[in-house]
Structure 1
Amino acid sequence: MPQLGSGTGRNRGTHAGRRTDPRVWSFALREKAGVTRLISRNRITVPGAGKALYDAVMVPASLVMESKMLHGIKDRAERRLTRR
């Protein structure tokens, strides 16, 4: 997947599939008051009748998987800090 964005303070994202593919997943690191947050956002456009099925099945499943992924990253990052 091609990387979108670069440099300090900008979002980094990936573009799934072809340039015309309606799926985008981006990550951003935000620092405020000495705390850094990893923010994940995704957008998928599903045309037609498939949208209702996607919304009913894939959105909740994606939310659970993404939440577990982000918590796993958080746990590993915090473990590294306590080992120093």
Structure 2
Amino acid sequence: MSEATSFIRKAYEFNKNGFENAYNAMGSFQEQAEEVTLRLIGDNPLFPEPAKKIVKSGFDACKQGRESFKGQVTKSQKAFEDLLTTANL
């Protein structure tokens, strides 16, 4: 039984680390895209100010969505960790 327990823990940690790495990579990509986009449109006189605000609010919405998603995954991971602890796995 200890091999199964060890496997379940290792599989869980592997998936948890995989999520963290993917989440961080996605966040870095989105932040870089935001920075480049805002820099490109920031000084462009052909891009009206209301449109710049819309683009910025779109990036803010993406950031909030990403953080909300992370919170839900963290909540689920905590519940699973509690389950593993309760089952002595």
- Shorter-normalised TM range: 0.3 to 0.5
**TM-score calculated relative to the size of structure 2:** 0.42
Structure with bigger strand share is 1
Higher relative contact order (CA 8 A, sep 6+): 2
Structure with bigger helix share is 2
**TM-score calculated relative to the size of structure 1:** 0.44
Decide which structure has the larger Cα Rg and report it. 2
